[in-house]
Amino acid sequence: MVAAAVARTRTSGPSKKANRPVGAWVLIGVPVLLGLLALWQVGSTVFKTEIITRNAVAVSRVSLEADPIGARVDMVLVDRTGADTTVSGDLTIKVREPDGAVWQTTRTVSAGDFATLPTGRLLSGRMGYSVPVPVGDWARAPRRGGAATVTVTVVPADGSAPFTTVADERFP
């Protein structure tokens, strides 16, 4: 019987719960949420995954420059982030003068065909592709300083969407 009395004295009545005002929860919650957000910003860069593909999606720049055999078309392809990249597929280049004279070539290219363009060119130091346009391929030699329209069409071998660009250039 003594044990039952001791057991009753240990149990107490209903406990009073401390009620905090809403403002206190806001003052506690906002810094905690900001701290978690800061941790997420720092932590997410540590666990960054490479979801960006390096597939070419556009021709960044085309230039028509002087070459010992005539002229040369230099081009740089870029991926979705704007970084220089390569492509495997069919590349069609068309150079047209205002009088209608046209030079055109279609080549199958691979990533190994692209290289850093040499110094002394407009696009020097960038990863690109260069195609010489021999003077002998023209019915008459292009006019020095004459206008030309350069069209580059790329059809990637991986089945992604083809892309094209048209640039107004001058013969060197």
CATH topology of domain 58-170: Immunoglobulin-like (2.60.40)
For the chain, the structural domain boundaries read 58-170
2-52 residue pLDDT tens: 555 555 555 555 556 668 888 888 899 999 999 999 988 887 777 655 555
d(CA 97, CA 89): 27
Of 55, 78, 71, 73, the C-alpha closest to 159 is: 55
d(CA 156, CA 74): 18
Tokens of 91: 């590349």
d(CA 105, CA 62): 15
Q: What is the pTM of this model?
A: 0.64
